[in-house]
């Protein structure tokens, strides 16, 4: 993608999306009026992501790091692919609540995944740290698709692990209290 208007558009997308994503991650650590790691861990545990505290910390750290990397346009393909994966896993928690954010539905993780997917396939543009390093054009179709395939394997493994935790909890409900 070339052209000044495209570069400005990508900068705007990276900046707004990346800052919101980083803020979303910081909330997991109790910043920006967020619930904090203990409450977030409890939600993760209930949702089958165990152990909850390290899983919540990992999700928060990936959101903060991914968001800030996207803002800077630094290692954009890797950051974007990672964010797609984190948001797909997050969506699995929200799908039962429906579509809309007002009901804690899948809207926010779906939009975040779509924004990250867009940046994965377009690259960061020329107004980025990747550009002077000469890596802003690594977002080609084969490379991006390979990154996405690696992420899909990790997401699948995470969701399989989650399902086994949920099944174990359902068969031993007294241990969950």
Mean pLDDT by 10 residues, the chain (177 residues): 85 98 98 97 94 97 98 95 97 94 95 97 93 79 90 95 92 68
Task: State pTM to two decimals.
Answer: 0.91
| pLDDT at position 134 | 81
Q: Which two tokens stand for residue 146?
A: 């390979």
CA dist., res. 67 & res. 148, Å (int): 17
- The pLDDT assigned to 11 comes to 97
Angle, to 10 degrees, between the axis of helix 76-94 and the axis of helix 52-72?
140
Q: What is the pLDDT of residue 6?
A: 93
Pick from 114, 138, 113: nearest CA to 125: 138
Cα distance between residue 73 and residue 57, in whole Å? 24
Cα angle 71, 75, 79 (rounded to 5 degrees) comes to 70
């Amino acid at each position: 993608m070339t052209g000044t208007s495209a570069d400005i558009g990508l900068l705007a997308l990276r900046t707004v999306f990346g800052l919101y994503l980083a803020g979303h991650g910081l909330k997991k650590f109790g910043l920006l009026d967020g619930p904090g790691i203990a409450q977030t861990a409890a939600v993760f545990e209930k949702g089958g992501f165990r152990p909850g505290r390290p899983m919540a910390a990992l999700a928060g750290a990936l959101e903060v790091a991914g968001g800030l990397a996207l803002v800077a346009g630094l290692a954009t393909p890797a950051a974007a692919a990672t964010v797609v994966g984190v948001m797909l896993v997050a969506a699995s928690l929200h799908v039962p609540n429906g579509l809309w954010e007002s009901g804690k539905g899948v809207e926010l993780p779906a939009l975040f995944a779509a924004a990250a997917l867009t940046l994965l396939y377009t690259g960061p543009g020329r107004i980025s740290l990747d550009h002077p390093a000469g890596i802003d054009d690594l977002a080609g179709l084969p490379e991006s698709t390979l990154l996405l395939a690696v992420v899909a394997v990790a997401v699948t493994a995470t969701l399989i692990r989650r399902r086994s935790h949920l099944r174990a909890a359902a068969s031993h409900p007294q241990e969950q209290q």
